[in-house]
Amino acid sequence: MDGFIEGRILKPSRLCTSRFHEVRVDYKDLFQQESFWSVIDKDLNGTFHCQYDYSGSRVTPKISWTCFKLKRVHSADKYTWKQPSLHITWNHETGRQVVYIFDFLPYSDGEQDKFLKSLPSREARTHNPFAWHAAFARVVLEQYDEAYWLVRDLVRDHEKNRRFNINNKEFFPELHDIARHAFHYNEIVEVAEHTLTRLVQEQIRWREEDGAAIRDGGGVAHWLNPHQELLLQQKAAVALKARSKSLNERLLNEINLGFNLVLQADSTMMKTIAFVSMVYLPGTFVSGVFGTNFFDFDSPTPGQWAHSHFWLYWAVAVPLTLVTMGIWAGWHWRNAIQKGWNSSYASMQWRLAMRNRGAADIDDDGESAQVQKDGIQLRILGGLLRAPTTMNRRNVNRQETV
């Protein structure tokens, strides 16, 4: 629905449908600014513009408008679009405003009441038309936040029910639709942030051009309060954009995970098919060889050769099958086999060395005892020599870690 506000009094009876360009076919005569027509009859993702009045000694924002875009997602395949827009004509001499609100409210009557209660004071509206933009942006950003959580809930539902839906043929198409909604949300939030940035910049420009009149007229507070409100909403848009970026990456991770799970299932199936094919391949090969003309199984008794020589097929096919499977297993587990062989070889070498050492000790107990005594003395002496070096190394290491 659209709201229409004229003068200083809100007239809810003037609310009309969002198809304003169909209800008022003369809207181009109503709005002389040609650049604003697209806000009414085109599909935009956001815009902002301000036209100044240079009459007299002041420079004031005579006409300004803001346009946002909203997408409310109910499910992967159900959603609604809105294009909330605000058009203000302001006369700084009389303080009179004519305000048009397009396609803004409501999703519910409660949201309409919430917006009416958030309107700036009559004095603030009289002195600063950007007070309207600040109040308008605040309610729009709240709806952006609600729209984010609707998309996030769809992503979260997929994450929680992944193991139940991975075999569903609608799994990836639904993720594709959710990703489309997430991309749209990221786009409109970025444009909304830029729109709010332009609003802040334009109000600063007005202050620079008309600063003396604003100060002398006592309107500094009415300028500063909307300015701070716009900065607050701009920061909220930045936070939503960061959330949107994180949600897109999270959704991309979910898509990649689902794709990898499907690949793993396909890989297991292909291994099974390859193994079954490998089992039957030797038999097929042997039967093909025996079916050639290189072999003659004719026997003196016609019709008996197949029974008398059928054992030959199994005698060749079964060993060949086992050899083929053994070669495949050896290649598949070659690293484990090599590791086990190295371990067994090292253990065997150690046992052999210990056996030789024991035999030497038995042959020459006196010489062995002397060698053992000399070895102990050398180890003690070596430890004493290494002690200062070790202490110095610890000091160096401690200095490097500081």
Three-class SS string for the chain? CEEEEECCEECHHHCECCCHHHHCCCHHHHCCCHHHHHHHHCCCCCEEEEEEECCCCCCEEEEEEEECCEEEEEECCEEEEECCEEEEEECCCCCCEEEEEECCCCCCHHHHHHHHHCCCCHHHHHHCCHHHHHHHHHHHHHHHHHHHHHHHHHHHHHHHCHHHHCCCCCHHHHHHHHHHHHHHHHHHHHHHHHHHHHHHHHHHHHHHHHHHHHHHCCCHHHHHHHHHHHHHHHHHHHHHHHHHHHHHHHHHHHHHHHHHHHHHHHHHHHHHHHHHHHHHHHHHHHHHHHCCCCCCCCCCCCCCHHHHHHHHHHHHHHHHHHHHHHHHHHHHCHHHHHHHHHHHHHHHHHHHHHHHHHHHHHHCHHHHHHHHHHHHHHHHHHHHHHHHHHHHHHHHHHHHHC
CB 237 within 8 A of CB 196: yes
Residue 365: what pLDDT?
A: 53
Per residue in 276-317, pLDDT (tens digit) is 787 777 778 777 767 765 555 565 555 445 445 667 777 877
Average pLDDT of span 223-228? 91
Under the banding of pLDDT at 50, 70 and 90, the label for residue 361 is: low
Average pLDDT of span 149-177? 82
CB 179 within 8 A of CB 249: no
Q: Is the pLDDT of residue 21 over 50?
A: yes
Least confident span in 82-91, 345-354, 384-393: 384-393
How many other C-beta atoms lie within 10 A of the C-beta of residue 104?
Answer: 23
- Report in angstroms the alpha-carbon separations of 277 from 273, 281, 283, 286, 319: 6, 6, 10, 14, 16
Mean pLDDT of the chain: 78
The winner for highest mean pLDDT among 110-124, 156-170, 220-234, 246-260 is: 220-234
User: In a 10 Å sphere around its CB, with 0-12 CB exposed, 13-18 middle and 19+ buried, how is residue 127 labelled?
Assistant: buried
What pTM was computed for the model? Answer: 0.65
Q: β-strand 60-67 against 70-75: which pairing, if any?
A: unpaired
Percent over 90 (pLDDT), the chain: 31
CB 143 within 8 A of CB 242: no
Q: Is the pLDDT of residue 1 over 70?
A: no
What is the dihedral sign for C-alpha 371, 372, 373, 377? positive
If one compares 47 and 166, the residue with the highest pLDDT of the two is: 47
Least confident span in 53-62, 188-197, 274-283: 274-283
Q: Is the pLDDT of residue 352 over 70?
A: yes
Closest C-alpha to 225, from 207, 208, 213: 207
Under the banding of pLDDT at 50, 70 and 90, the label for residue 399 is: very low
Under the banding of pLDDT at 50, 70 and 90, the label for residue 110 is: low
Average pLDDT of span 312-335? 80
Which two structure tokens, joined as six digits, stand for 61? 């924002």
If one compares 347 and 13, the residue with the highest pLDDT of the two is: 347
Q: Which amino acid is at 357?
A: R
Least confident span in 20-24, 59-63, 162-166, 267-271: 162-166
Residue 183: what pLDDT?
A: 94
Residue 259: what pLDDT?
A: 77
Least confident span in 24-33, 163-172, 362-371: 362-371
Residue 108: what pLDDT?
A: 58
Question: Where in the chain are the domains?
Answer: 3-267, 370-402
Q: Is the pLDDT of residue 324 over 90?
A: no
CA 102, CA 27: separation in Å to the nearest integer? Answer: 13
- Report in angstroms the alpha-carbon separations of 394 from 189, 286, 389, 397: 57, 72, 9, 5
Least confident span in 71-80, 339-348, 386-395: 386-395
Residue 222: what pLDDT?
A: 86
Question: What's the length of the chain?
Answer: 402
Q: Which amino acid is at 253?
A: N
Average pLDDT of span 39-57? 90
Residue 376: what pLDDT?
A: 52
Residue 51: what pLDDT?
A: 94
